[in-house]
Chains A and B, each alone.
Chain A
Amino acid sequence: MERLTRDQIAQRLAQDIEEGAYVNLGIGLPTKVANYLPKEKEVFLHSENGVLGMGPAPEKGQEDWDLINAGKQPVTLLPGGSFFHHADSFAMMRGGHLDICVLGAFQVSRHGDLANWHTGEPDAIPAVGGAMDLAAGARAVYVMMELLTRDGKSKLVDQCTYPLTGLKCVSRIYTDYAVFQIEGDGVVRVVDDCSGAGQQELIRLTDLDLVF
């Protein structure tokens, strides 16, 4: 068994994005996916702050702070790219025009409930950004995360204990152990045991009745 690195998870997810897809990559880990989209495929990257057709990070010294992504990092625009205001940008997200969004998560339940915006701790400062809009609006919500917390608890759970971002919205979960598909009625299928952990180990780690 060999767990995937974060970059390998991004690479594995990138394989499942088809040419022509309109895709939003959430801030943090999901932005790594952009590095692994095959050059021969045209994929439209959307950012919530009003850009479609986003290109890679600029060369050092070429940063334009009026051209940034949702994580407020400088980016570039591909030929054919466009800019638009926030209400239009979120019409793309909430109106079901994005094919895929990729988000990080604290927890995902076997029903596809997502928790990724708030730890619920009393002194935590809540910040939601566009996460709830993406969860509710994108046609497919993919989660990218490490399967276990630092103390070894599964983040793929029976019921989320953290505050929810969206209900029954996640369809796939890409982790360092395996790719899981949420199939409805609480059924979770392992579609790719990419670490070679094996059925018994994945069931033991998640404590769920996984389907293979």
Chain B
Amino acid sequence: MINKIVPSVQEAVAGIKDGATVLVGGFGGAGQPMALIDALIAQGAKDLTIVNNNAGNAEIGLAALMKAGQVRKIICSFPRQADSYVFDELYRAGKLELELVPQGTLAERVRAGGAGIGGFYTRTGVGTMLAEGKAVRTIDGEDYLFEAPIKADVAFIKAKCGDRWGNLTYNKTARNFGPVHATAAGMTVAQVDEIVELGEIDPEAVVTPGIFVQRVVAVQS
């Protein structure tokens, strides 16, 4: 019997190595898998590259992981927030590398990574600072930038319901990067509000099919 459900967040993050690239779902707090991040802080893997839309808030979640000194580099679109002071300080002190990526390019680079696509051309960013060092190609008279795929060792996502095969549904705008990140990692770990029986999720309503998910852990929200 296939059972991807693990009994604890400690087991959900077991085996993550130093130097890993970790895709983390969430847009601000919505969809951020806080319990998995907390477990990763306890697990202690360091020298991590984190991919998320933001760079943490206050001293919880990603900000706590950065504060613990476990992050070497962050790939994101919008690090600056009213309460992103942990990131701000580390970045200004040169202790954290930042790769700034337009949000749609970030989502599409991860999508490409998950879909086995070796990059793509986009009009986003043409003629800007963020085009520096990127190949430009003219297609039908318009300039496009080449963007490389992003693949990761691990993805952490937050979903609403999950079953033992790893099928997932999400809650409202907490979906955001979750279904994209789930496709692009060697091991995808889903923190879910609720575990349901096989067949309880309407097959027409499955957002992330279980093929993309390796571990599911229930966390009371």
Contacts and interface: CB of A to CB of B under 8 A. Distances in A.
Interface in B38-89: 53, 77-80, 84, 87-88
Interface of A is mostly: loop
A66 B102 contact: no
A128 B98 CA distance: 13
Contacts of B88: 125
A83 B172 contact: yes
B124 interface: yes
A132 interface: yes
B178 A127 contact: no
A16 interface: no
Given A68-B28, A86-B176, A123-B92, A129 B126 contact: no
A196 interface: no
Contact of A163 (B107, B128, B175): B128
Interface residues on B, range: 35 or more
Contacts, number: 137
Interface residues of A, number: 41
A83 to B, nearest CB: 6
B102 A130 contact: yes
Given A49-B176, A130-B104, A167-B126, 18 more contacts: A66-B30, A72-B28, A85-B177, A86-B53, A87-B108, A113-B127, A123-B92, A125-B79, A125-B87, A125-B92, A126-B98, A129-B102, A132-B130, A133-B104, A136-B124, A137-B123, A137-B124, A166-B128
30 contacts: A47-B173, A49-B27, A49-B30, A49-B173, A50-B27, A51-B172, A51-B173, A66-B31, A66-B171, A66-B173, A67-B173, A83-B175, A85-B176, A85-B177, A85-B207, A86-B180, A94-B122, A125-B84, A125-B92, A126-B80, A130-B77, A130-B104, A131-B102, A132-B125, A133-B104, A133-B105, A133-B124, A136-B122, A165-B128, A166-B128
Interface of B: 27-31, 53, 77-80, 84, 87-88, 91-92, 98, 100-105, 107-108, 110-111, 122-130, 170-180, 207
